[in-house]
Structure 1
């Protein structure tokens, strides 16, 4: 199991979080299992960018992004060199520090 540290996010996780996640779990599923309701408008099918995260530590432990993910990431708000779609990035054996960007490009966000 790897430890995931989630940096504070004003809406989704104001205090931040620290938890364990099994290897092979997507970062998105790991966050959702902890009640951190990251957006995933395409239901985790790699068809949008709403689950975009920035991996601040442990980025190199993740498998490389496939071309489809890379193409979508180009459209993500706040793109950084260590950005990933959390639905596609699978937890390996290294600890991760993850930041959820303040904004997404989802124009039909539910509940707002």
Structure 2
């Protein structure tokens, strides 16, 4: 099973983390299933950018981004060439290093 290394984020995982997930699992699902409460305001339906991540290593192993995801990413805070919506990026066999951006455009967080 591939390992996702999450770089430190002041809110979601201050010390960073490593999680294992089965191939075919989205990055968002893997993080949520392992106690990392990444935002996902649209319930992983590819309708917002709150689950935006930057894939620092292993980007080429993920599925290709579809046009809807690419269009939404244009609105993401801190967009980089390695940016993906974690709800649309599915694991293959390769390990990943992922950074959760410091901010998102979500103006109304759930449960806060």
| Residue matched to 1:9 | 9
What does 1:1-112 correspond to in 2, within 5 Å?
Answer: 1-112=1-112
Tell me the secondary structure at the aligned position of residue 32 of structure 2.
helix
Superposition deviation, residue 63 in structure 1:
1.3
Where structure 2 has 5 or more consecutive residues not aligned to the other structure, the ranges are: none
Q: Deviations over 1:22-66 (max 9, x none)?
A: 000000000001100000000000000000000000001011100
Name segments (4+ residues, structure 1) moved above 4 Å. Answer: none
Where structure 1 has 5 or more consecutive residues not aligned to the other structure, the ranges are: none
TM-score (norm 1): 0.97
TM-score (norm 2): 0.97
**When the two structures are aligned, how many residues end up with a matched partner?**
112
RMSD of aligned C-alpha atoms?
Answer: 0.7
Q: For 2:61 and 2:39, locate their aligned partners in 1 and report how far apart those are by CA, in whole Å.
A: 24
